[in-house]
Chain A
Amino acid sequence: MSPDGIVAAEHVWKRFRSDRTRALLRDHYLRFTSRLRGETAGWRWALRDIDVRIEPGEAVGLVGANGSGKSTLLKILTGVMYPYAGRVTVTGRVGALIEVRAGVHPDLTGRENTYLFGSLLGLSRADVTRRFDDIVAFAELEDAIDRQVKFFSSGMQMRLGFAVAAFLEPDVLLVDEVLAVGDAAFQQKCLDRMRGVLAEGTTLVFVSHDLEAVEAACRTGIWLDRGEVAVQGPIREVLGAYRSRVEEEASTDDSSGPVHLVSTTAEGATGGPLRSGKPAALAFELRTEMPLQGTFHVGISEGTATPMFTIQTEVDLGTPGEHRVACEVSSLPLPRGRFFAWVGLFDADGRDLLGWRPATAFEVDGPDLLAAPTAVVRRAPLLIESAWALDDEPLDR
């Protein structure tokens, strides 16, 4: 008997019909006749040869663009869908933290729906009764629990669903993009609860587009790209690769504004490689079709369009032609890794002169990023110099 908490997919394939998805008699008939004529029905692969093995207690983040097969894979792991080929093994009690608001009946009260949620997620009524007060307290719905759910806000419904799921105590917890609905305080509460679940040795599979949250909760990651495993390994590696792809795809955008970015350089102050905590020089060659002035923004990101920080300057490009904008950062607050500079030039009214786009990728040499506590979301991986003391005695790092 294998231990509880293993999640394994071996050579899993899944396909969907690519033609019309209606299921009417006529469609079946048309499909049947075209098959008689020797035409093969249109299918497309949603998952191709997925090989994943997650050991008990591991926390794995599943990332990828929309339509890359994340949810399909999760559905196959929970047993909602069946693969076309391959084998799936999940041992132990599986809890899925998914948006089950659909199972909620709006005319029933919060209390009645709590039992419904519980049953749907696999809790017995006795289990729900025993934890009822905890669940209500966690969802912060003490005043509203006997009200009909149709009078709940969507956030309240979501909290109720999450609260029930949070008390599942499963061996395997599958989480699909549920944190997005709650407010910031509740999101943190959810992450705290996930940390508690992790500490108890639960296997976690976490699907989210919130890459920072994935990074906070997971040690390893899987990047699904168009139904295939693109990268699998330590979470920062996986996220790094995924973010680079986002940048690559963005950079194919052509500019339509009056200003064009010709070239970009990023290097250490003396021309060498970039180093953490040392001066850095960025330079941008711009070509403008007409004289104009505006604000030039530079944002440093891990790949996505959302930078960790931005810097800016007013520029006056008085003549058409090429201009060079240079910038020196006195102390680069970045750890070792690969980063991206995004740029944009906007006039006083905020109109695009040069739309927000990735300009260049650069490598930084230096110490690794310090680890944040598990399940604590760090929005920006900045490396900041710090000196510490305990009881007035300086501490050496």
Chain B
Amino acid sequence: MTVADDLTDGPPPELRFRRRVSLVASIRAVWAVRELVRTLAERDLRARYKQAVLGFAWAVVPTIASVVLFTVLFDRVAEIDTGGATYALFAYFGVLTWSFFSNCVNIGGNSLVGNVAILNKVACPREVFPLTAVVTASVDWLVAAVTGVLLFLVLAEAPHVQVLWLPVYLALQLTFTIGVVLLLSSVIVFLRDLRHALPLLLQLGLFATPVVWNLRSIQGGGRVAYAAFNPLGTVIDGLRSTALLGHSPDWQLVGVSTVTSVTLLFFSYWVFKRLEPGIADVA
């Protein structure tokens, strides 16, 4: 049974399907399926920890392991200038922020490809899948945040009151991360080999981001330029300088990074919506 291969007898151009997408309507549609996001996140979390003997401890172990490893390597060996803060706590904020981002990208980037079987059969806003990954990673972030409290106790230190600026940095982190995840998840559907490049890129990103080193080691205008390029640097530096050193947020860095993150989010969502109709075709 051959179906005509040529397109000469296609539909008249005026019949071409045009999808109208409005930002407000799209967001409303996502809000309407928030229960689905919750159920899917619950599924992923339950399934992840059901088989493991240590259960939720697995959300704690990587954070502690990284902090210990980095402390040994970079505090003792490389002697990084932390501006006076305890290195373990300095590293902790880097690890906390970076593992959230890398979890989101890892799970979220593959979320559309990984849930092909569902999105091939069930009509729902496709944003559900990358957002589910962000929600799942947020739960891990919470567990790691609790770990941080323990770390402060163990080291007998208290965060400065400026730690109350935390929500500002969280908002920035979330905006940037959702932007990256939306973009990656939709593009990976059409460029499958990006999946293999992802771990490598994350590895590079770990060192390109001030997780183990201090953003303050970049001087003057270079730091602002860096903040425009990598908002995660602003987040990590901000958490360190507020909680550990008691400074107020560096609004110049925050401003620049916010512009980048918001622009990226809009751009990513636009790309996502453009690619969305084709996802079920190639999936």
- Which A residues contact B (CB, under 8 angstroms)? 11, 13, 15-18, 21-26, 28, 40, 42-46, 49, 65, 67, 75, 78-87, 94, 96, 98-100, 102-103, 105, 107-108, 112, 115-116, 118-121, 124-125, 226-227
- Could you jot down 19 A-B contacts, CB within 8 Å? A17-B282, A23-B190, A24-B193, A80-B122, A80-B280, A82-B277, A82-B278, A98-B122, A99-B121, A100-B121, A102-B118, A107-B50, A112-B42, A112-B43, A115-B39, A116-B43, A118-B39, A120-B118, A227-B3
Chain A residues positioned under 8 Å from B11 (CB to CB):
11, 13, 49, 84-86
Asked whether B121 lies within 8 Å of A96 as measured between CB atoms, the reply is yes
Asked whether B282 lies within 8 Å of A23 as measured between CB atoms, the reply is yes
Asked whether B39 lies within 8 Å of A119 as measured between CB atoms, the reply is yes
Smallest CB gap from A14: residue in B: B281
Cα A107 to Cα B43 in complex, Å, equals: 9
CB distance from A99 to the nearest CB of B (A): 7
A82: which of B17, B39, B120 is its contact (CB, 8 Å)?
Answer: B17
Asked whether A43 lies within 8 Å of B7 as measured between CB atoms, the reply is yes
Check if B271 is an interface residue, CB within 8 A of chain A: no
Chain B residues positioned under 8 Å from A11 (CB to CB):
11, 15
B10: which of A13, A24, A78 is its contact (CB, 8 Å)?
Answer: A13
Asked whether A25 lies within 8 Å of B16 as measured between CB atoms, the reply is no
Chain A residues positioned under 8 Å from B282 (CB to CB):
17, 21, 23
User: Which of B233-256 touch A at CB < 8 Å?
Assistant: none
CB distance from B193 to the nearest CB of A (A): 5
A23: which of B19, B40, B42, B192 is its contact (CB, 8 Å)?
Answer: B192
Check if B123 is an interface residue, CB within 8 A of chain A: yes
Cα A233 to Cα B64 in complex, Å, equals: 68
Taking residues whose C-beta sits less than 8 angstroms from the other chain, chain B's interface range is 35 or more
CB distance from A73 to the nearest CB of B (A): 13
User: Which of B176-213 touch A at CB < 8 Å?
Assistant: 189-194
Chain A residues positioned under 8 Å from B19 (CB to CB):
82
Asked whether B280 lies within 8 Å of A75 as measured between CB atoms, the reply is yes
Chain A residues positioned under 8 Å from B281 (CB to CB):
16, 81
Chain A residues positioned under 8 Å from B38 (CB to CB):
119
| A84-B17, A105-B47 known; A98+B121 contact, CB < 8 A | yes
Asked whether A86 lies within 8 Å of B17 as measured between CB atoms, the reply is yes
Asked whether B117 lies within 8 Å of A112 as measured between CB atoms, the reply is no
CB distance from A18 to the nearest CB of B (A): 6
User: What are the 4 tightest A-B residue pairs by CB atom distance, in nearest-first order?
Assistant: A102-B117, A79-B123, A85-B11, A82-B277
Check if B1 is an interface residue, CB within 8 A of chain A: yes
Check if B22 is an interface residue, CB within 8 A of chain A: no
Chain B residues positioned under 8 Å from A116 (CB to CB):
39-40, 43
Asked whether B123 lies within 8 Å of A96 as measured between CB atoms, the reply is yes
A86: which of B15, B120, B121, B122 is its contact (CB, 8 Å)?
Answer: B15
Asked whether A67 lies within 8 Å of B17 as measured between CB atoms, the reply is no
User: Which of B1-48 touch A at CB < 8 Å?
Assistant: 1, 3-5, 7, 10-12, 15-17, 19, 35-36, 38-40, 42-43, 46-47
Asked whether A105 lies within 8 Å of B122 as measured between CB atoms, the reply is no
Chain A residues positioned under 8 Å from B192 (CB to CB):
22-24
B17: which of A25, A87, A96, A121 is its contact (CB, 8 Å)?
Answer: A87
Asked whether A44 lies within 8 Å of B4 as measured between CB atoms, the reply is yes
Asked whether B123 lies within 8 Å of A78 as measured between CB atoms, the reply is yes
Asked whether B17 lies within 8 Å of A85 as measured between CB atoms, the reply is yes
Chain A residues positioned under 8 Å from B145 (CB to CB):
none
Chain A residues positioned under 8 Å from B194 (CB to CB):
25
Asked whether A28 lies within 8 Å of B121 as measured between CB atoms, the reply is no
Check if B143 is an interface residue, CB within 8 A of chain A: no
Smallest CB gap from B4: residue in A: A45
Chain A residues positioned under 8 Å from B121 (CB to CB):
75, 80, 96, 98-100, 102
Known: A15-B10, A45-B3, A226-B3. 17 other contacts (CB 8 A): A18-B5, A23-B282, A44-B5, A45-B10, A82-B277, A82-B278, A82-B280, A83-B17, A85-B15, A94-B123, A96-B122, A100-B122, A108-B43, A112-B43, A118-B39, A119-B38, A120-B36
Asked whether A80 lies within 8 Å of B39 as measured between CB atoms, the reply is no
CB distance from A13 to the nearest CB of B (A): 4
| A80-B122, A116-B40 known; A108+B46 contact, CB < 8 A | yes
